[in-house]
Amino acid sequence: MFYELFLRSFADGNGDGIGDFKGATEKLDYLSELGITGIWLLPIMKSPSYHGYTVSDFYSVNPAYGTLEDAKVFLERAHAKGMKVILDMPLNHTTITHPWFLKALSGDNRHRSKYLWLEKPEWLKARRPWDNQKVWSKLNGEYYYALFGPGSPDLNYENPELREEAKRILSFWLSLGFDGFRFDAAKHIFDFSKETGKCEYQHERNIAFWKDLTEHCRKINPDAVFVSEVWDDPDIVDLYSTVFGIGFNFPLAYAIKENILVLNPGKLAEALYHVMNRYFGDEILYASGTFLTNHDMTRLLSYMKGDESKALLAFSVLTTLPGIPFIYYGEELGMKGEYNEFANEAQLEPFPWFELGSGPWQTEWKAFASNPPFSGLSYEVQGLTIHSYFSRVKNILHFRKKNSWIGNCKILEIKVKNNVLFLAVEVKGETTLFVHNFNPKAVILEKQGHATLINGELSEFENSISLERMSSAMIK
């Protein structure tokens, strides 16, 4: 079970208000106690942006986060606690202040070939597939391809020298001690066609590129972990994920949230048959990276309009499905934040260690707009309360860690009866039933084995089980 960690917002180790490696190292016990066994670090490389996805030096740590030695200590301590750490690696583009791009602008042909430049005026008509925005940006009188905005010029991997550079970058971070990578924008390496002058995903070329890089990394570390970020239909996700080993299941995240929001277990069951289809067979080609939210999405409680019971039900459903769960930092506290593509700081706010919004380890790099002080969601308040939202999420995560076999189980059947979602799974010949009550009141179930509460309330009688509203249980 991985924890998506934004270093800038998590824990400040030197008192400058910005999260860093020293702070995160001191908080590893917190993650361990939460039940976390893996950490996904958002980009840590030198970058002018607060989010870090526009890199200006692939071989150094952002000075605000510390040094390479600080990173190494963090990795060593995490490993000592049994945690793997993967690094978010945005290889698709750089920042415009990267030395490569600056040299390219100055006329250096060697570096110029690392980017894609306008060759035909008609190319200016090209638009992004998802929002029809322009993809060509102009600087110093020259047009360059920048799919994710003017500050992020795309790298041109037609250049064989650049491909070798990418391998050296990955080798560098693996040698430091990272256990693998989450590859950002994996389907965008080749996404512009010079033949048609349009944005077109060239999936076969992308997959060949990633196969070359992952094989290189596995020669260094045979157990390296790779996660692909591909927002697309399940069949496209399958193509990439079989190369990486883990693929984020975006359709699953939406299926769970959309249907729990309106309390429609029937539609959720239908969706699960589609988005979790690989877990119905005997051969699983790759692991599904399961999640509810991430840094590019509205936070869970905001999505659920503040309804904690629905958010907890979503967590419960997530943890009873096969795959590898990824938990976005702060979701265990119920942090809020609405996603905005052009200003996504709302869901990247400081982790609220203290109710005051200030104190040892507390980051203060931005205002607490969505999660203000004295709102009762801080760890200081919730960590000491038995029935707090945090305590209930923690119990759900502990349940999943204790029953880690769920990650590799086979789904036998998904059905709905009387607004209750039933999920039957099998592992090593043993069948287990998960039950999620979507009703606003308790339901009585026939007793078919020993029941373990996942979240909510449960009462066992001689021949029946009473599962309270919005509660979840495992029956063996």
Could you read off the pLDDT of 368-419 as tens digits, one per residue? 889 999 999 999 999 989 899 999 999 999 999 999 999 999 999 999 999 9
Say which CATH superfamily domain 2-96+156-404 falls into.
Answer: Glycosidases (3.20.20.80)
Comparing 422 with 232, the larger pLDDT belongs to: 422
Domain boundaries, the chain: 2-96+156-404, 409-475
Answer yes or no: 229 catalytic: yes
Query: What is the per-residue pLDDT for 21?
Result: 98
Query: What is the per-residue pLDDT for 424?
Result: 97
Contact residues for 451 (Cβ-Cβ < 8 A; gap 6+): 458, 460, 465, 473, 474, 475
Contact residues for 336 (Cβ-Cβ < 8 A; gap 6+): 299, 301, 302, 306, 370, 371
CATH number for the region 409-475 comes to: 2.60.40.1180
d(CA 316, CA 61): 37
Report the share of the chain in percent with pLDDT over 70: 100
Examine the pLDDT at 341 and tell me if it is beyond 80.
no
Instruction: Write b or e for each residue in 170-206: b if 16 or more Cβ atoms lie within 10 A of its Cβ, otherwise e.
Output: beebbeebbbbbbbbbbbbbbbbeeeebbbebbbeeb
Average pLDDT over residues 56-77: 97
CB of 44 closer than 8 Å to CB of 65: yes
Within a 10 A sphere around the Cβ of 27, how many other Cβ atoms? 18
Q: What's the pLDDT band for 298 if we cut at 50, 70, 90? A: very high
Of the residues 88, 184, 191, 332, only one is catalytic, namely 184
Of the residues 229, 331, 332, 349, only one is catalytic, namely 229
pTM score, two decimals? 0.95
Answer yes or no: 184 catalytic: yes
Query: For the chain, what is the mean pLDDT?
Result: 95
Q: Which of 79-93, 212-226, 281-295, 393-407 has the lowest mean pLDDT?
A: 281-295
Q: What's the pLDDT band for 236 if we cut at 50, 70, 90? A: confident
Query: What is the per-residue pLDDT for 378?
Result: 96
Query: What is the per-residue pLDDT for 163?
Result: 96
CB of 12 closer than 8 Å to CB of 23: yes
d(CA 241, CA 282): 18
Q: Do 2-96+156-404 and 409-475 come out as alike in CATH topology?
A: no
Report the share of the chain in percent with pLDDT over 90: 89
**139 forms bridges with which residues in the sheet?**
142
Query: What is the per-residue pLDDT for 102?
Result: 96
d(CA 29, CA 25): 9
Q: Per residue, what are the HEC states of the chain?
A: CEEEECHHHHCCCCCCCCCCHHHHHHCHHHHHHHCCCEEEECCCEECCCCCCCCCCEEEEECHHHCCHHHHHHHHHHHHHCCCEEEEEECCCECCCCCHHHHHHHCCCHHHHCCECECCCHHHHHCECCCCCCECEEEECCEEEECCCCCCCCEECCCCHHHHHHHHHHHHHHHHHCCCEEEECCHHHCCCEECCCCEECCCHHHHHHHHHHHHHHHHHHCCCCEEEECCCCCHHHHHHHHHHHEEEECHHHHHHHHHHHHCCCHHHHHHHHHHHCHHHCCCCCCCEEEEECCCCCCCCHHHHCCCCHHHHHHHHHHHHCCCCEEEEECCCCCCCCCCCCCCCHHHHCCCCCCCCCCCCCCCCCCCCCCCCCCCCCCCHHHHCCCCCCHHHHHHHHHHHHHHCHHHHHCEEEEEEEECCEEEEEEEECCEEEEEEEECCCCCEEEECCCCEEEEECCEEECCCEEEECCCCEEEEC
Average pLDDT over residues 17-42: 97
Average pLDDT over residues 145-152: 95
The two structure tokens encoding residue 357: 């919004």
Query: What is the per-residue pLDDT for 234?
Result: 78
Query: What is the per-residue pLDDT for 293?
Result: 97
Q: What's the pLDDT band for 284 if we cut at 50, 70, 90? A: confident
The two structure tokens encoding residue 436: 């999620």
**434 forms bridges with which residues in the sheet?**
423, 474
Examine the pLDDT at 367 and tell me if it is beyond 90.
no
Examine the pLDDT at 342 and tell me if it is beyond 80.
no
Query: What is the per-residue pLDDT for 327?
Result: 98
d(CA 95, CA 376): 39
Examine the pLDDT at 343 and tell me if it is beyond 80.
no
Examine the pLDDT at 169 and tell me if it is beyond 90.
yes
Query: What is the per-residue pLDDT for 281?
Result: 82
